[in-house]
Amino acid sequence: MKTQQELAEIAGKFAISGKITEVKPLGNGLINDTFKVSTDGPDAYVLQRINNAIFQDVELLQHNIEAVTRHIRTKLEGNPDIRRKVLEFMPLKDSAKTYWTDGETFWRISLFIPDAITYEAVTPEYSYYAGKAFGNFEAMLADIPDTLGETIPDFHNMELRARQLREAVAADKAGRMADPRVKALVEEIFEYEEEMTKAERLFREGKLPKRICHCDTKVNNMMFDKEGNVLCVIDLDTVMPSFVFSDFGDFLRTAANFTAEDDPDTSKVGFNMEIFKAFSKGYIESAKVFLTALEKEMLPFAACLFPYMQCVRFFADYINGDTYYKIKYPGHNWDRTLNQWALFKSAEGKLDEMKAYIEAL
Ligand code: GN1
Ligand code: MG
């Protein structure tokens, strides 16, 4: 853990304006460490320690982020609120690089977006705006001239995630397979493997495209102004080629759950059709310019796939002994797993209703 003083020294290596007055923790991401840097000038900043155990190619990561923010900025040229509409990463004082490393830890800094709010839960009205915004985000990136690499290869590949769970089970590093509840859930999960890996097969058959997607559209990765207008999408580490299901599915995984993704009380978990409908409407309105018939038809599948995939990812981490996601207590990943499993089952039960709604849009 770095002290305030050390964090301020790191922030001071970047081309920021004003004198640093305070550095304090910000947000609740599960991967990077994030801080707000206040100054005596008009601007504040967001300092982040990039988790380079997970993002092993920081050079590529920042290349992607610079390309994406630059491209969006050209699309927004002339917009008077441009500084709040797209993230801006600061270069170092002595080079054009947008990250600093001491050889061990990696850091970057962006402009803090003032008067912006993130939510852990949203109303149908806000979900509609979010749908439009994520569809629009994908539409804006459709003609990006740069080639984006995969910052985490095969990030949302369900075949890989299933394989990782299988490997975790076989290795049983933390001795958690002794618990009969763990064993039973593993079996139940694999009953759905065939169905849940169908997008990868359709891709190999040339029937489904990959597009540049955000790939971490958790509800708290979107910023709103005080009036409820969407300002911008944050957390760009995973922007990469993927199925559009990533963005559609991951938003609903968080926003359409009646409770938080780690609520240990699974009786509170459930898939909220009102949020689904509002988000789908907004998303399709802005994404219809590029969506194929098959992509649109499979959106309800995406709504089921993401709770399933997240359940598999949390579960593999639990079985591996909690090495990936930050946890607050020993059974945290187990609670997350059960929560996402309950959400998957709830969404699955509403599949026909979802299909009917999407078809009519
Ligand atoms: C991680 O960093 P954060 O909290 O926005 C994860 C997502 C998961 C999410 C689950 C790089 O996102 O894929 O869906 O936790 N990001 C990475 O809460 O693995
Ligand atoms: Mg985040």
Q: What is the pLDDT of residues 73-124, one digit of tens each?
A: 999 999 999 999 999 999 999 999 999 999 999 999 999 999 999 999 999 9
| Helix, strand, coil abundance in the chain, percent, nearest 5 | 50, 15, 40
What pLDDT sits at residue 1?
Answer: 80
Pairing mode, strands 106-111 and 100-101: antiparallel
Give residue 173's pLDDT band: very low, low, confident or very high (50, 70, 90). Answer: very high
pLDDT in tens, 244-259: 999 999 999 999 999 9
Phi, psi angles (nearest 5°) of residue 311 = -60, -45
Residue nearest to atom 5 of ligand 1 (CA): 29
Report the chain's mean pLDDT, rounded to a whole number: 96
Instruction: Tell me which residue of 314, 309, 313, 307 sits closest to 347, measured CA to CA.
Output: 307
Which of 26, 60, 216 should be mutated for ligand 1, with most atoms under 8 A from CB?
Answer: 216
* 30 pocket-lining for ligand 1 (C-beta < 6 Å): yes
Q: First-to-last CA distance in the chain?
A: 50
Ligand nearest to the CA of 314: 1
Answer yes or no: is pLDDT of 25 > 90: yes
* CA distances in angstroms from 316 to 165, 237, 324, 332, 360, listed in the order given: 5, 22, 9, 13, 38
What pLDDT sits at residue 29?
Answer: 87
Gap between the Cα atoms of 332 and 330, Å rounded: 6
Q: Say what the pTM is.
A: 0.94
Instruction: Tell me which residue of 61, 119, 28 sits closest to 237, measured CA to CA.
Output: 61
Answer yes or no: is pLDDT of 228 > 90: no
Gap between the Cα atoms of 232 and 134, Å rounded: 9
* 261 pocket-lining for ligand 1 (C-beta < 6 Å): yes
